[in-house]
Amino acid sequence: MISFFIAFYLLATLGIGFWASKKIKTSDDFTLAGKSLSTAFVGVTLFATWFGSSQIMGNPGFFIKNGFTSYFTLVFTNIICLFVVGQFYARKLYRMNLVTINDFFRKRFSKKLELTSSVIMVLSYPHWIAAQFVALAYLFHAVMGIPVNYGILLGAAIVVFYTYIGGMWAVAYTDMVQSIMIVLGMIILLYEVLHQTGGISPIFADQPKAFFRIFPKGGLAEWSDYLALLLAFTAGTIPVQEIYQRVFSAKDEKAARSGLFLGGLLLVIIPTIPLIIALGGVYVHPELLNAQDHQAIVPALVNIMTSVPVQILFYGAMISAILSTSSGAMLAPATVIGENLIKPYAPKLSDKRLLLYTRLSVILVALVSCYFAYSNADIVRLVEASLSLILVCLFAPFTFGLFWKKTSTTGAWAGVILGGGVWLFCFFYDTQMAPTIYGTVVSCLGVVLGSLVGPEKRGRD
Q: Residue 325: which CATH number?
A: 1.20.1730.10
- Do residues 230 and 266 share a domain? yes
Q: Whole domain around residue 444: which residue ranges? A: 394-461
pLDDT band at 454 (very low <50, low <70, confident <90, very high): confident
Q: Which of 387, 420, 436 is the last residue of a domain?
A: 387
* Model confidence pLDDT, tens digit, residues 270-287: 989 989 988 888 888 887
Q: Looking at residue 386, what is its pLDDT?
A: 60
Q: Which of 157-166, 369-378, 381-390, 412-421 has the highest mean pLDDT?
A: 412-421
Q: What stretch of H or E contains 137? A: helix 111-144
Residues 42 and 170 in one domain: yes
Q: How many domains does the chain have?
A: 2
**Higher per-residue confidence, 248 vs 289:** 248
406 CB-contact burial (10 Å; exposed 0-12 / middle 13-18 / buried 19+):
exposed
Q: In terms of pLDDT, which residue wins out, 377 or 151?
A: 151
Residues 356 and 422 in one domain: no
pLDDT over 90 at 255, yes or no: yes
Residue 87 has pLDDT above 80, yes or no: yes
Range picked from 3-12, 59-68, 267-276 for highest mean pLDDT: 267-276
Q: What is the pLDDT of residue 432?
A: 81
What pLDDT sits at residue 116? 95
Please tell me the total number of residues recorded for the chain in this structure: 461
pLDDT exceeds 80 at position 296? no
Q: What pLDDT score does 378 carry?
A: 53
How confident is the model over 344-361, as pLDDT tens digits? 888 888 988 998 999 899
The pLDDT, as a whole number, for residue 459 is: 45
Per the confidence metrics, is the pTM higher than 0.85?
no
Angle at 436 between CA 430 and CA 437, to 5 degrees: 100
**pLDDT tens figures, 108-134:** 999 999 999 999 989 888 877 887 888
Helix (H) or strand (E) holding 364: helix 351-375
> CB under 8 Å to 215, separation ≥6 — which residues?
69, 226
- Last residue of some domain: 333, 367, 387? 387
Final residue before a domain boundary, out of 387, 417, 448: 387
